[in-house]
Amino acid sequence: MPSQEAQSIIDEVLPSAVSWAAAHGLSMVAPENDSRFIHAPMSLLPTKFPREYFEKAISLSQSYNKLVDKVARDETWLLKTLEKVSHGDEFTNKLIELCKEVIQRGVSQEFYLGIHRSDYMLNAPENAQKQLLQVELNTIASSFGCLSSRVSKMHKFLSSNGNTRAAFNQHYSISNDVREENTLPVNDADKNISSGIAAAAKLYSESQDDSSHPQAVMFVIQEGERNSFDQRWLEYNLFDAHQVVTLRRTLSQVAKNAILKDDNKLIIDGFEISVVYFRAGYTPNDYPGEVEWNGRRKLEFSQAIKCPSIAYHLVGTKKVQQKLALEGELEKFIDDENECKALRSTFAGLWSLDVDEQTEGEKQAQKQAMVNPEGYVMKPQREGGGNNIYGKDIASALSSMCEQERAAFILMQRIFPTLSDTILVRESKAVLGKAISELGIYSVFLGNGKKTVCDGFAGYLLRTKMEGVDEGGVATGYSCLDSVFLTD
């Protein structure tokens, strides 16, 4: 994009975009001052994305929902897959031990609520066909559903508003009579995710013969959460559209104030908890001591419907992702041959670093990563951004780690998406550059292995970051919220 054209777009569109964000709660807490609010990092205009691959990603939503649920309910396969990881990763080991405790006690709540996000990049190697490849499958605290919906609505407004329409049309070379729904798809992630939580709350309520306390959905949150607006919009939607009451509590508050009754009902501050929605608990930082682990135990042992259950949480580990890519493993959970083929078409190269289970192909991949580390990523069993190992650091890590430490990581093919022109905005300042994007597809699932209450696509997230930035989190400062402009 020529700089003169970009500056013209910035001059015409930026004031309207920033004003829209401020007026519609497209906001985050400022990093240096928790009493100041700023607009979330965002793209000024939507990014072009091929319709074919966008629709393919959506079409896989129910397949990934089914896969997560089936793997989570096969406790033998899940725990065996993660056995060696636990030896070199203390945090994952604690999660595994908690899962074993739940199994030993007996699962109090068979219904699991999944709010998943499957993240993809469009791999575009030179002189080869583009390929939609899965980066990861998030099963806990899949964030930005509400703010991504707002970015989509902001871009739709900018495409039609009299002050900005001309610049928008000029940038995309479209005429005034183009129907924006053909290119700017509806994104109702905020409504669909809250509807899934409300359905779980309703299911719980209907299962209780008597209740001496009013019921509420509890959001489990982090101290000093910057991304609270994304969570607050879910709370507001739950109340406005479904009359569902919500609480916000940290794990330490749960440990100190929650009561687990003899029938495993969870009571806190006068409310019976119907649904536990985790927006914390996915990083070791959320467990500074045994108090927080005790809080998590109360939640997992309770009758409340968990989002996610500890088993769903573990299904989202990178080791499970790698194991499912092996020949014959996915097929243990998905019977339909065509469905397996569709899922496998999105699998990137995934290799074990556990010397005791490596195939010859995996050993060769590890050797190649030492020689050509730019073609790979080393991933631990972590969520939240900032944890992966890239480039020359891979060779150093593989050389310096002991076998037990390496087994806690997987090796993944690095994806190289097409670069696009973008204008990214942080704190009202616009920056022009070449960027890459990552597409996240939200899906909601509620079931007990026999009965399915909810199952489907729930919305999308597009995160865009400047070329050369490895990690992809918005809350961690790497990416900006974006939306798609579909192309044929």
Instruction: State the distance between the two ends of the chain, measured CA to CA, in whole angstroms.
Output: 21
56 is catalytic: no
Please tell me the distance from the alpha carbon of residue 93 to that of residue 82, in angstroms, as a whole number. 9
> Choosing from 318, 323, 406, 414, which is the catalytic residue?
318
Residue 451, number of CB atoms within 10 A of its CB: 10
Contact residues for 348 (Cβ-Cβ < 8 A; gap 6+): 123, 133, 134, 135, 412, 413, 415
> Choosing from 298, 379, 382, 414, which is the catalytic residue?
379
> Choosing from 27, 63, 123, 136, which is the catalytic residue?
136
- For residues 168 and 44, the answer to whether their CB atoms sit within 8 Å is no
Contact residues for 186 (Cβ-Cβ < 8 A; gap 6+): 152
Contact residues for 318 (Cβ-Cβ < 8 A; gap 6+): 136, 379, 380, 381, 409, 410, 412
> Choosing from 384, 385, 433, 477, which is the catalytic residue?
384
Please tell me the distance from the alpha carbon of residue 210 to that of residue 428, in angstroms, as a whole number. 52
> Choosing from 149, 383, 388, 443, which is the catalytic residue?
383
227 is catalytic: no
384 is catalytic: yes
Please tell me the distance from the alpha carbon of residue 250 to that of residue 241, in angstroms, as a whole number. 25
What is the pairing mode between strands 271-278 and 305-307?
parallel
The CA-based angle 237-243-244, given to 5 degrees, is: 80
- Enclosing H/E stretch for 277: strand 271-278
148 is catalytic: no
> Choosing from 84, 279, 463, 465, which is the catalytic residue?
463
> Choosing from 117, 153, 265, 306, which is the catalytic residue?
117
463 is catalytic: yes
- Per-residue burial over 309-332, b if 16 or more Cβ lie within 10 Å, else e, is bbbbbbbbbbbbbbbbbeeeebee
Q: How far is CA 417 from the centre of its chain?
A: 19
> Choosing from 63, 86, 138, 227, which is the catalytic residue?
138
Q: Which of 142, 125, 123 is nearest to 64 (CA)?
A: 142
270 is catalytic: no
> Choosing from 65, 143, 187, 309, which is the catalytic residue?
143
Q: Which of 281, 42, 260 is nearest to 141 (CA)?
A: 281
318 is catalytic: yes
Positions annotated as catalytic residues are: 117, 136, 138, 143, 318, 379, 383-384, 463
